[in-house]
Structure 1
Amino acid sequence: MDKETLDLIQSIPKDVWLQLYNDAPKPMLRQFGKLGEDLAKTLRLITFPVQCTAFIQDRIDEGFKRAIQKVPEERRVTPPEGLILDIADKLKHHDSETLVGKLYVELLSASMDRERNNQAHPAFLPIIGQLSSDEALFLLRLSKKKPSLYIKHMLTWDLVTKEERELLLEGKSFPFYDEEKNLLDMTLHPEEYFYPNNFYIYIEHLNELGLLEYTNEATSEDWKRWAEIKSIKYDMWCIQLTKFGELFFKCCTDALVSLDK
């Protein structure tokens, strides 16, 4: 919310706000008891000066309703006010049925869940707005393959095709974390993304956001066995979620898993 809007809100006497709130139609959030009442009051008071249409308010209310419904009643707690207002502002522009909207709902839901509010890191808020659907799918794939691999041409940024990948890795495996794993099963598939040519861009962007890390350095005796497999034409990179990325995935799991449905 910009400074001009906040200044406008703060300039209006509190008793005027309360009268406006009391005169407003009862929002859907009130059905959730005290937590719903508190959320509704905060949202109504903060959005009155800028509330243009009932459509926008209904969109915000629907997002908050979905967030509350995901939390068992006995675990519901009031989330930080700053987070409430920031997410409400985001939901004005993103329907809760969209991927980005779902991610905001998941963040809000975690923040009002006594058992999950440690997952609701405030830094996730600006990250959500920067994610494409391909990048969200990328995070989902990394969560399922630990660690994941990708094969890259040594001298170019051209994508390695499915046929090249299979020819190079078919039937090859070696131990990761005391478990023998098939290299093909661990390898990411650029062709499954909507914009496959952005595959390397996604890696760099998610790395800059602090969500993933990658290396092609020999960090163990097992990894050195790659030298027996790779050729002068290809290189193999190990890629995985960072601890921060794992926390983000835990917080927003339901929204990300929905990409596979």
Structure 2
Amino acid sequence: MGKSSSKIVAKEIYKDLLSPSVKEIGDILKNSTKVARFAFAGIDYLAAKHDRWKTFLEKVAGKVKEENLVEGHPQIIGPIIESMVYIENESIVGEMFSNLLARAIDKTSQDKAHPAFPKIIQQLSEDEAIILFYLKKKNYRVEQEWDLINNQVINLRTTKEEFPLTKLSFSEKIWMYMDHLNSLTIAGTWKTQNDIPIRNSAGIQTGGRVISDRKLSEFGKLFADACIPDIFEAL
């Protein structure tokens, strides 16, 4: 190729580089680089957390006898490892993950580690994990009353709550937490009997009383046995 031809090719390439489509691609690449920088910024953070991983694995090792160690199922191990990237070891949620991992690699308790359990733990808030910790120990009675006006039930209110609400960071969300735990099929607030009518001095019903228990479901009991500690120092 001659010098003149080279100059023509160089001019054509330069022209292409200035074209809108090429500049657009360049902008995309530039923006993608920015996205990548933010998306993978946590890698350095994770590398710096080597000691935290070591502590987590040491905790799990302390729960399983060496002679009982077996390979865990990927459906259980994978989600646990993914989740522990974001969970602090000292939290009760972190304790649940370590308990479940210990079950999953212990041949004497491996059958208790259900594949659904990691996903359930992933969806728990710290307060919900605390609720489960206490529900593993016992059921808690809750009573409500409502008014009956023009054949309509209104003004439902809690009149008695046995659950230790002071243990929760956001105690006012107890009903929302219980609804969420119910959607996960592990716990709920269920009536223990039909509503009790409240009547005035003339015998006319003016309201009613609801008596329920906050408790684990049957599946929740299996979850609690596999994941929830019997003792947690912070509580």
TM-score range, shorter chain: 0.5 to 0.7
What is the aligned partner in structure 2 of residue 252 from structure 1?
227
Find the aligned partners of 1:235 and 1:192 in 2 and give their Cα distance. 24
Q: Deviations over 1:235-259 (max 9, x none)?
A: 11133211111011111232x6316
Structure 1 vs Structure 2: percent identity of aligned residues? 25
Q: How far apart in 1 are the matches of 2:138 and 2:93?
A: 24
Measured on the aligned residues, the alpha-carbon RMSD in Å equals 3.0
Q: What is the distance in 1 between the residues matched to 2:85 and 2:126?
A: 20
Question: Structure 1 CA distance, aligned partners of 2:192 and 2:171?
Answer: 25
Q: 2:210 aligns with which of 227, 230, 235?
A: 235
Aligned 8 A contact 1:59 1:91 in 2:
no
For 1:197 and 1:259, locate their aligned partners in 2 and report how far apart those are by CA, in whole Å.
24
How many angstroms does 1:198 deviate by?
0.5
- TM-aligned CA deviation for residue 150 of structure 1: 1.0
- Cα displacement (A) at 1:209: 0.7
Structure 1 residue 195: Cα displacement: 1.4
The structure where helix makes up a greater share of residues is 1
One-letter amino acid matched to 1:197? E
**What does residue 85 of structure 1 align with?**
78
1:19-66 superposed Cα distances (whole Å, 9 cap, x missing partner): xxxxxxxxxxxxxxxxxxxxxxxxxxxxxxx96453244433332222
Question: Residue 207 of structure 1 is aligned with which of 157, 162, 182?
Answer: 182
2:142 maps to 1:150 = yes
In the aligned structure 2, how far is the partner of 1:202 from the partner of 1:216?
A: 17
- Following the alignment from structure 1 to structure 2, what is the Cα–Cα distance between the partners of residues 196 and 95? 22
Question: Structure 1 128/259 Cα, relative in aligned 2: closer, same or farther at 3 Å?
Answer: farther
Q: Which amino acid aligns with 1:193?
A: L
Q: Does 1:102 pair with 2:95?
A: yes
Q: Secondary structure at the match of 1:70?
A: coil
Which one-letter code corresponds to 1:134 in the other structure?
Answer: D
What's the offset of the Cα at 1:141?
A: 2.4
After TM superposition, give the deviation of residue 123 of structure 1 in Å: 1.0
Partner of residue 3, structure 1: none
> 1:111–1:135: structure 2 CA closer, same or farther, 3 Å change rule?
same
Deviations 1:85-130 (A, max 9, x none): 3322222222322222222111101101122212211111121122
CA distance 1:98–1:84, shift in 2 (3 Å) = same
Q: Is the 8 A contact 1:159 1:190 kept in 2?
A: no
> What runs of 5+ residues in structure 1 fail to find an aligned partner?
1-49, 166-183, 219-223
Unaligned 5+ runs, structure 2: 1-41, 147-153, 200-205
- Report the equivalent of 1:135: 128
Q: Tell me, what secondary structure is at the counterpart of 1:92?
A: coil
Q: Report SS of the residue matched to 1:144.
A: coil
Measure, in 2, the Cα distance between the counterparts of 1:190 and 1:158.
16
Counterpart Cα distance in 2 of 1:94 and 1:73:
26
Q: Is the 8 A contact 1:135 1:206 kept in 2?
A: yes
AA matched with 1:156: N
1:65 paired with 2:40, answer: no
Structure 1 length as normaliser, TM-score? 0.59
Change (3 A) 1:138 1:61: same
- TM-score by structure 2 length? 0.64
Contact 1:67 1:106 in 2 (8 A): yes
